[in-house]
Amino acid sequence: MKNKINEALIEKLKSAKNLVFFTGAGMSAESGIPTFRGTDGIWNKFKPEELANFNAFLKNPKLVWEWYQYRKDIIHKSAPNNGHIAIKELEKYYSVSVITQNVDNLHYRAGSSEIYELHGNIEKNYCISCNKRYDFIDFPESTDSPRCECGGLIRPDIVWFGENLPQDQYSSAEKVIEEADIFFSIGTSGIVYPAAYLALNANKLKKFLVEINPVDTELTHIFDLTIRNSSASALENILTTVESFK
């Protein structure tokens, strides 16, 4: 769908230097990765309390590893979509920061240089006993859950329910928002906190706020502009517009 970019956004893009992209699962929907909520959402099919919390992991680490391997298999078959690529391309014209709730590594694979990961990364893991890091583990179905050389259980480096967000990533995200000229919120339902506070903070700081999402969200009322389109189409349109005047 080719929608024209709103004049107010064009004016902002002409004078802006720093762009912040705050992304959620909808950003990767066009790469074939399911979102969490909605009819086909992950949380409609699987129970977070059995899979995405520390006690569930201690009770049945193999089940949790199988689930993450299932998700990794989908992610490995997918590729960054035109939205991820447009964000990377915008680095030619702006200082661009990506703050993502996604764990799928697709912004990294698209080549974005500055990424803050609020909820971890599915390719990263660490030992729950000694904290040693183990990245890019594949977990074949037949094996037991991976163990560290110290004997401890290795877990995915994902923020589970009830856990704190990585403080360094969150604080850095807050700092880049202070410098932002435009804050884009893309493909997120905006109902998961503390991540969603970042959008509320951007609003308090009177940043120009743009939401890209096919539907209204809990946060829609705070945005200066809403683009009711898919993230790939909307971001392609934004990139084309920027290329026309830069």
Residue span binding ligand OAD (CB under 6 A) among the ranges 25-33, 59-67, 86-94, 131-139: 25-33
Smallest distance, Å, CB 149 to ligand OAD? 28
Count of residues binding ligand OAD (CB under 6 A)? Answer: 23
For residue 62, state whether it binds ligand OAD (rule: CB under 6 A). Answer: no
Q: Is 119 noted as a catalytic residue in this protein?
A: yes
Contact with ligand OAD (CB under 6 A) among 231, 235, 236, 237: 231
For residue 214, state whether it binds ligand OAD (rule: CB under 6 A). Answer: yes
Cβ nearer to ligand OAD, comparing 6 with 95: 6
Q: Crossing angle for the helix pair 231-245 and 82-89, nearest 10 degrees?
A: 30
Q: Crossing angle for the helix pair 231-245 and 7-15, nearest 10 degrees?
A: 60
Q: How far is CA 233 from the centre of its chain?
A: 18
Rounded to an integer, what distance in angstroms lies between the CA atom of residue 218 and that of residue 223? Answer: 11
Residue span binding ligand OAD (CB under 6 A) among the ranges 6-14, 66-74, 198-206, 210-218: 210-218
For residue 81, state whether it binds ligand OAD (rule: CB under 6 A). Answer: no
For residue 189, state whether it binds ligand OAD (rule: CB under 6 A). Answer: yes
Contact with ligand OAD (CB under 6 A) among 13, 20, 21, 26: 26
Contact with ligand OAD (CB under 6 A) among 13, 20, 30, 226: 30
For residue 153, which phi and psi values (nearest 5 degrees)?
-75, 140
DSSP for 136-183 reads S----TTSPPPB-TTSPBEEEEEPPTTPPPPHHHHHHHHHHHHH-SEE
Q: Where are the alpha helices (DSSP H) in the chain?
A: 7-15, 42-45, 48-51, 54-59, 61-77, 82-89, 106-110, 167-179, 197-204, 231-245
For residue 121, state whether it binds ligand OAD (rule: CB under 6 A). Answer: no
Closest CA to 175 of 133, 149, 205: 205
The structure tokens listed for 208 are 């120009």
Closest CA to 161 of 25, 69, 49: 49
The structure tokens listed for 199 are 């959008």
Residue span binding ligand OAD (CB under 6 A) among the ranges 24-32, 58-66, 72-80, 176-184: 24-32
Q: Which of 84, 107, 119, 221 is catalytic?
A: 119
Cβ nearer to ligand OAD, comparing 118 with 154: 118
Catalytically active residues are 119
Chain contacts with ligand OAD (rule: CB under 6 A):
24-26, 29-30, 35-37, 41, 101, 119, 159, 187-189, 192, 212-215, 217, 230-231
